[in-house]
Amino acid sequence: MVIRPAATLALVRDGDEGLQVLLLQRTWQAAFLPGYFVFPGGAVDPCDHDARACASGREDGAISQTLSLDEGGADYMIAALRECLEEAGLLLAVDERGLLLPEDHPVLTEGREALRREEIGFQALCESHGLTLPLDRLAYVGHWVTPPGAPRRFDTRFFVALAPPGQQASHDGSETIAHAWLAPTEALDAHRHGRLALGYPTLRTLRLLADFGTSEALLRHAHANPPTPRPSRPWPARKGGADWQVEPDAPAYAEVSRLDPHRQGIACAEIVPGRAVVVAPGVTRVTAPNPGVMTGPGTNSYLLGHGRDHLVIDPGPEDHVHLERLLALAGGRISRVLVTHTHIDHSPGAAWLKARTGARLVGLPPPAGASQDATFAPDHRPGHGERLATPAGTLQVLHTPGHASNHLCFLLESQRLLFAGDQVMQGSTVVINPPDGDMAAYLAALHALGEAPFDTIAPGHGFLIGEGHAAIDFLVTHRLAREHKVRRALARHGPASLAELTRYAYDDVPEARLGVAERSALAHLLKLEAEGRAEQRAGQWGSRMG
């Protein structure tokens, strides 16, 4: 799949109560993030290169160096300015006198429409009005590449600039259908409470902006502190007993780069059941031999401690070889067994370990259901926010229902490492299976996790996940995008059965996986029903609010 270069511009201004940023709402018919609020931006056009003739302030070489490119950095900035004019009706440019454009300048009206209708190119438009594009007024603040698996992928550079004073923003009515000036904290709060749909890269930029009270402070910082270049080189590792190169987008990249920071090629780029991997000081991962469609390479058990005391997080299934391995690594000393939830691939080994060691079991009781481990009987039921002392450091307990009503995450505070169970899956999304699975609760739990202080995720299946908050935000974005497809299927094809709607809303899922997808589709429909946006009659689902 071709990854298209793109650029986005966060325009800021100083409001009565502090910094504000312009957000535009994308049309509901958009192929990418429909209905979401975004900054003005879009793909870099080949003709943007020609508009360098109208640029001033910085040469392409200097800009490209800042963006860690060989050349073409100026084209990203020019694309950001062009898209801002097309989508928001604002243009950061100066006239022949060196003055910023006033609100009644014809380029903002007739010029904008001519550009949108492709009757004139951006270079020709600027030249016809004697305009110069001051690229030194844009500061580079971020780089985001759409993760693999998305229907469209973009390599996007994010910039910030002071909005031209006097000019009035206006959405174009086709690509964008609304706009708002909001304080970054206000936008983040609205997203947290479900009032504003924001994708991960927008969230990340808003969090940066929220640290500043004025545009002057923000721009001073942004010009002086461009972001760290995104990894581009593969990382040396071992796989199958041979040397291996792990590409930046590969699942193992965050783990091998963390475990082998000096690039000696000693970290393993594959998960082998039974192999002990020290993933953090005092933390060892051992993967159970239960690979499958729903479990990936197997269930990860984490052993925390050293010397005389250890505890286990998620002992996995009652596989005696796996459990004996955990026991041997702990020298037979396991005082507690913690479980994130009681699905049968995570907790059945707990009773076996308790019988062998007398370990106390920590977790929440199993709800009803065939997929639950009914044998799990906790000795201690931790509360949300409770802190547990362990040989590896303090664990904070976080109740995260949704995938399972009794799901817990455990945050190792000193390592900023989140043991996430099945809240976050590497390489796939979590199945939300009603009645115990609850989509609204799952999204609320993800939003709450977004506020927790961690950097890396230790998932129940797969490698360590770097940039943990990015993973959380991407899951929220994916779920809300899927919900939009469910609503669109309801509007276009309802009333219809669950199976029929699933085929439309999950048209990108292989036939063999539609049965599993149907469970998550039902979870979305039940959430929409609770919100008054869907209804079920005689086994047929329809839309209530269009």
Of these residues, 48, 172, 345, 473, which one is catalytic? Answer: 345
CB 8 within 8 A of CB 38: yes
Tokens of 338: 């913690």
Do 525 and 497 touch, CB atoms closer than 8 A?
no
Q: How far is CA 121 from CA 49, 116, 197, in A?
A: 11, 9, 32
Element (H, E) at 543: strand 540-543
Element (DSSP H or E) covering residue 278: strand 276-280
The single-letter code of the amino acid at 256 is: V
DSSP 372: B
Tokens of 76: 């990203």
Burial of residue 132 (number of CB atoms within 10 Å: 0-12, 13-18, 19+): middle
Give the span between the Cα atoms of 198 and 37, in whole angstroms.
Answer: 6
Consecutive H or E run containing 351: helix 349-357
Give the span between the Cα atoms of 91 and 85, in whole angstroms.
5
Task: Tell me which residue of 392, 407, 388, 315 sits closest to 355, measured CA to CA.
Answer: 315
Contact 121, 47 (CB under 8 A): yes
**Could you tell me the CA-to-CA distances from 188 to 114, 185, 445, 471, 475 in Å, in that order?**
35, 5, 16, 17, 16
Active-site residue flag, 345: yes
Q: At what angle do helices 468-493 and 514-530 cross, to 10 degrees?
A: 80
User: Looking at this protein, which amino acid is placed at residue 458?
Assistant: A
- List active site positions: 345
